[in-house]
A and B are shown apart, each in its own frame.
Chain A
Amino acid sequence: MATVEVTFTPLPAHVRTARLVATAVARRSGVDESVLDEVRLAVGEACSRAVEAHRRHCPRQPIRVELTDHEERFEVVVTDSAPASENGAAPAAGDGGAGPSQEGRGSPRPGEHSGGGLGGITPPGTTEPADLQLPEGVGLAVIAGLADDVRISPAGAGISVRMSWKRRPHPETSLRLPGAPRIPGQRIPSFV
């Protein structure tokens, strides 16, 4: 069960709320302060992508964000209900292959997930492409550059974007009484 779970209607205004909740829970979970900006941005990217997909395909369906403390990492899962082959994620994401595990952080590999790079955006003086939008998939590439680990997989009708970061075990999460023996795996109970 997630430590905190949030569902929201697919409106752009709610993405900020999801970012704020994710950042607050990450901080409490013991994610390093220097990494909180990365959590905030990655969760925002995942939620923005989901909102855009839902607005096109299923505007009445909610988007789910699950935030979970594991032993040594903090995990966020953003799940949508939009058809996986049309919602901006790579279609063959059955085993997490679309969002390969990141070996180390911050590796700039734009466009790695769904091809297309940055839509042919070119340095000054070179030929310009006609479109004015970054292609779908850039958000996932940004997430891959920010999270310690990223996995994308089918989830019902849609997909889930699973991101995680290392965390320091928070003293409050053990809920130990003074003198009581530590119970392995004991965590703070769910808020939801």
Chain B
Amino acid sequence: MDLKLNHYNKDGIEVVDVEGEIDVYTAPRLRELLIDLVNKKNYQLVVNMEKVEFLDSTGLGVLVGGLKRVRAHDGSLDLVCTQERILKIFRITGLTKVFGIHETVDEAIAARKAEK
């Protein structure tokens, strides 16, 4: 399955819905979207990965790149993911300590608002 990307603003936070496979072929599209959002001064991001079917280290690199970009503006990039097979690669690489990972978009937004 190819990669489908959509994004919308909710409570001042830009939510990116990702569907499909994030790999060496498709990850550049997600990278471009995250860069574009940051360039448009969206520094509070939530990436919803509930419909992601596959994620490899190339995709992780894109997410880490996005995180670094928003942090450069004191922003944040949180993830929504409950799928064990996707969470596993975050655990193997130790990135569960780097990203805020939430069960729902609303929970991610609420957690971000609570930190402000």
Interface range on chain A (Cβ under 8 Å from partner): 20 to 34
Knowing A48-B57, A121-B98, say if A138 contacts B93 (CB, 8 Å).
yes
A191 vs B58: C-alpha distance in the bound complex, in angstroms?
31
Contact check, B72 vs A41: say whether CB atoms are below 8 A apart: no
Tell me which residues across on chain B come within 8 A of A12, comparing CB atoms. 23-25
Tell me which residues across on chain B come within 8 A of A16, comparing CB atoms. 21, 23, 25
Residue from the set B56, B68, B76, B94 with the largest chain A CB neighbour count within 10 Å = B56
Contact check, A139 vs B57: say whether CB atoms are below 8 A apart: yes
Contact check, B57 vs A108: say whether CB atoms are below 8 A apart: no
Main secondary structure of the interface of B (DSSP, over half): helix
Asked whether any CB of chain B lies closer than 8 Å to the CB of A123, the reply is yes
Contact with A along B20-40 (1 / 0, CB 8 A): 010111000000000000000
Query: Which residues in chain A, 126-147, are within 8 Å of chain B measured between CB atoms?
Result: 128-129, 132-134, 138-139, 141-142, 145-146
A132 vs B67: C-alpha distance in the bound complex, in angstroms?
9
Contact with A along B51-94 (1 / 0, CB 8 A): 00010111011001100110110001000000001001101111
Chain B nearest Cβ from A24, distance in angstroms: 15
* Size of B's binding interface in residues, CB under 8 A: 27
Chain B nearest Cβ from A135, distance in angstroms: 9
> A52 — nearest CB in chain B belongs to which residue?
B24
Tell me which residues across on chain B come within 8 A of A37, comparing CB atoms. 85, 88
Contact check, B61 vs A141: say whether CB atoms are below 8 A apart: no
Contact check, B97 vs A123: say whether CB atoms are below 8 A apart: yes
Contact check, A41 vs B24: say whether CB atoms are below 8 A apart: no
Chain A nearest Cβ from B84, distance in angstroms: 9
> B91 — nearest CB in chain A belongs to which residue?
A108
A124 vs B76: C-alpha distance in the bound complex, in angstroms?
9
Asked whether any CB of chain A lies closer than 8 Å to the CB of B5, the reply is no
Asked whether any CB of chain A lies closer than 8 Å to the CB of B111, the reply is no
A121 vs B68: C-alpha distance in the bound complex, in angstroms?
9
Knowing A40-B54, A122-B98, say if A13 contacts B92 (CB, 8 Å).
no
Contact check, B25 vs A142: say whether CB atoms are below 8 A apart: no
Known: A51-B24, A141-B93, A142-B93. 5 other contacts (CB 8 A): A44-B54, A118-B98, A133-B64, A134-B60, A146-B92
